Amino acid sequence: MAMLLPSPLLRGTLIQRYKRFLADIRLETGEEITAHCANPGSMLGLNASGITVWVSKSSDPKRKLAHSWEIVEIEGGILAGINTNRPNKLVAEALAAEKIPELTGYHVKPEVKYRENSRIDFLLTAEKRADCYLEVKNVHMMREPGLAEFPDCVTKRGAKHMGDLAAMKAEGHRAVVLFVVQMTGCERFRPAKDIDPNYVAAFHEAQKAGVEALCYACGFTDPDADAPEITLSRSLPIVAE
């Protein structure tokens, strides 16, 4: 399922990423801007000074920063989407079009509160079927060729989500975590135990409790095109760490 990105995207060179949510970028025009970086992770391997990036520009006068960092290109021509707001929109469109075979036939409700201080990305409901609690995780780390990994930093919140999903499964519901690999060149996925062993332990405990794990890769059209797109394209196998 393809999703149009804001267009046109503006090509530039990363000067630095700092304070997690800020990035100084030099556009091809020579203009230097500060862009919003909608990514709370470490962005391991994606934030080196001098790499090529693409940003979108908003016309909203109320925004403090007009530009948003969207895509980065790393060695080998690999493209990675770093905007963590995109995967949920991609999944919402794919669910509506029934492009995820494992999750068809449901009515979709986004952002539903459940458990203690938690919010599920999507609650899927259907007559005569158990409710399905769907958590989406953005993936954009590749330390070995072809191998996508998550997380790229310690995520206590992510571990809590796995526990919440396991609890919903124990109550008789269906529970699914969907890893969206917002990166080209990936052929398989694994949890990054060396980065966050607690998250990976929670992931495996949830699997033992019956929580399902899915992984889908994304593809990108040319970011310099008039109407660039990102596509939830194909399923990837999940391998043991």
**Secondary structure (3-state) at 136:** strand
Residue 141 phi, psi dihedral angles, 5° rounding: -125, 130
Least confident of 27-36, 93-102, 225-234: 225-234
Q: Tell me, what's the pLDDT at 118?
A: 86
Instruction: Indicate if the alpha-carbon torsion angle 161, 167, 168, 170 is positive or negative.
Output: positive
On whether the pTM is more than 0.85, the answer is yes
Q: Summarize pLDDT for 97-156 with one digit per residue, the tens.
A: 999 999 999 999 999 999 888 899 999 999 999 999 999 999 999 999 999 999 999 999
Percent of the chain exceeding pLDDT 90 equals 88
Check if the beta carbon of residue 123 is closer than 8 Å to that of residue 109: yes
Report the C-alpha gap between 187 and 206 in whole angstroms.
Answer: 24
- For residue 190, pLDDT over 70 is answered with yes
Locate 127 and state its tokens. 């007559």
Mean pLDDT of 33-59: 94
Rounded-to-integer distance, Cα 57 and Cα 107, Å: 33
pLDDT category of residue 9 using cuts at 50, 70 and 90? very high
- pLDDT tens string 52-101: 999 999 988 899 999 999 999 998 999 999 999 899 999 999 999 999 99
DSSP annotation of 183: B
> How high is the mean pLDDT of the chain?
94
Task: Give all domains of the chain, ordered by start, each with its CATH number.
Answer: 2-81 (2.40.50.580), 86-235 (3.40.1350.60)
Residue 232 is predicted with a pLDDT of 92
Tokens of 36: 């919003």
Q: Which DSSP category does 225 fall into?
A: S
pLDDT at 234: 93
For the cut 80, the answer to whether the pLDDT of residue 2 exceeds it is no
